[in-house]
Chains A and B, each alone.
Chain A
Amino acid sequence: MLSPQFTKSEQFKVLVAKLGIDGHDRGAKVIARALKDAGFEVIYTGIRQTPQQIVSSALQEDVDVIGVSILSGAHIHHMKVLMEELKNAGASDIPVVIGGTIPLIDVDELKKIGVREVFLPGESLKRIVEIIRKLAEEKRRLESRG
């Protein structure tokens, strides 16, 4: 490794995906665009992704945060499978956030299974970007890599 004076600022990578049988991708695309404009590298995998597809894409791209959008109502079921797959892959340290049509009463259960942040309808883009940045910084700090 070169001396510290050569070290550069970081750029974070985020995966944005639609999980399950759900083609409503406007929200995911708005988020992807906002993250890009905030200087993130965004990997957009599109609609109708399985939990397995999301996990292996996250590993291949070595992302800092996984962002999932669900508007089908099946978020609890799908997220349980996703978190389990992530654990099996030994990658529980990658923070996962979710957004979509999620009722307030489901937030606690989602957090209980390890989802780091739940964005409800009406959430501001600014706050979403800020939280994702914070989670990405935290992950990099924990593994202390450039």
Chain B
Amino acid sequence: MSSAETILDDLLNKASNGNMRAIGRILSYLENPYTMPEDLLEKLAKRAGNAQIIGITGIPGSGKSTLISKLITSLRKRGYKVAVIAIDPSSPISGGALLGDRLRMQEHATDPGVFIRSVSSKGLKGGLSLAALAMIEAFDALGYDKIIIETVGVGQSEVDIMSAADTIVVVTMPGAGDDIQALKAGVMEIGNIYVLNKIDKEEANKTYEYLSFALEKGDLGGNDSNWQPRLIKTSAIMGKGIEELVEAIEDHFIFIKKSNKIQEKIVSRRTLMINLLAEQFLSEGLKLASKEMYDELKSAAINANDIFNTSLRLAKKAVDFLPQNKKD
């Protein structure tokens, strides 16, 4: 066994014993496929397979973070260990990110049964979905029973992440009528559970009726005809409707377990992860290949000549740049 492997096993041991720092470091490794120890993913994945992955998505300002904080309290009372992956959009201008989601969950910061990790798209060198999927494996392997992923649900990678969840919760709020029209596109329409948060606000009843109607009509809700999507009214800030929401989340997990879909979900998540990792390798190879074929590319561009064939040669060259195996 090499010394790098011993260090990795040591880190994994510490993490399994609940050492926060070791867990935090493992998550950092998973954020960057270029420096990730080669055996880390399979070591984690071999131990994983028991957690419920709960995707929570909704328009900015709908109260997701506050709601999640209340969910954590309730899930902890039921004896579950909870992990949260809070994905925040980051500035494409400066490359920096201000991650404030955990601000509303800080009451759980010192609970050893809760682990909250903020993720920004920009800091990740291997794409948002890849990091999130790898982190799911890590939390699952380390014994977290409920893994919550929070996103605003826009952009392809967020849609990928949400589709990979076992249970999808879509959060909206009163007065968001036009936004509900927008919910009909993308991840929002495949929710298993819909939450109307902030019911203490005006127009709550109107929006509730609108949502019930959309659900009845079949405009919202996933394509699994055996699960009737639920609509739940909550006021996260006043602690209303939280138990009902947790019941719905539990019921949905029982439902997918009974219909033998858990294994299917795990396999599809991992298949997606392998694909995304391969995509990373290819795009790296592509960058190196275009550097080497610079003159050829430029000439094709200037002369408007041989464009199709040049790109084919470039793609083939990209593959040549890939390391033969993980030890290279």
Contacts and interface: CB of A to CB of B under 8 A. Distances in A.
A93 B99 CA distance: 23
A33 B91 CA distance: 11
Interface string B18-41: 001101110110001111111000
B110 interface: yes
A13 B99 CA distance: 10
A44 B100 contact: yes
A46 interface: yes
Given A8-B32, A49-B106, A53-B106, A89 B21 contact: yes
Interface string A43-62: 11110011011001101111
A43 B96 contact: no
11 contacts: A3-B328, A11-B122, A33-B98, A36-B91, A36-B96, A39-B94, A39-B96, A43-B99, A57-B116, A62-B24, A90-B21
Contacts of A13: 123
Interface of A: 1-3, 5-8, 11, 13, 32-33, 35-46, 49-50, 52-53, 56-57, 59-62, 89-91, 145-146
Interface in B105-158: 106, 109-110, 115-118, 120, 122-123, 125
A46 B105 CA distance: 11
Given A45-B102, A57-B106, A91 B21 contact: yes
A54 to B, nearest CB: 8
A146 B24 contact: no
B97 interface: yes
Interface of B: 20-21, 23-25, 27-28, 32-38, 90-91, 94-100, 102-103, 106, 109-110, 115-118, 120, 122-123, 125, 284, 288, 323, 326, 328
Given A61-B117, A61-B118, A146-B34, A46 B103 contact: yes
Interface SS, A side: mixed
B313 to A, nearest CB: 21
A46 B118 CA distance: 14
Contacts of A56: 20, 109-110
A8 B125 contact: yes
A91 B32 CA distance: 22
A60 B115 contact: yes
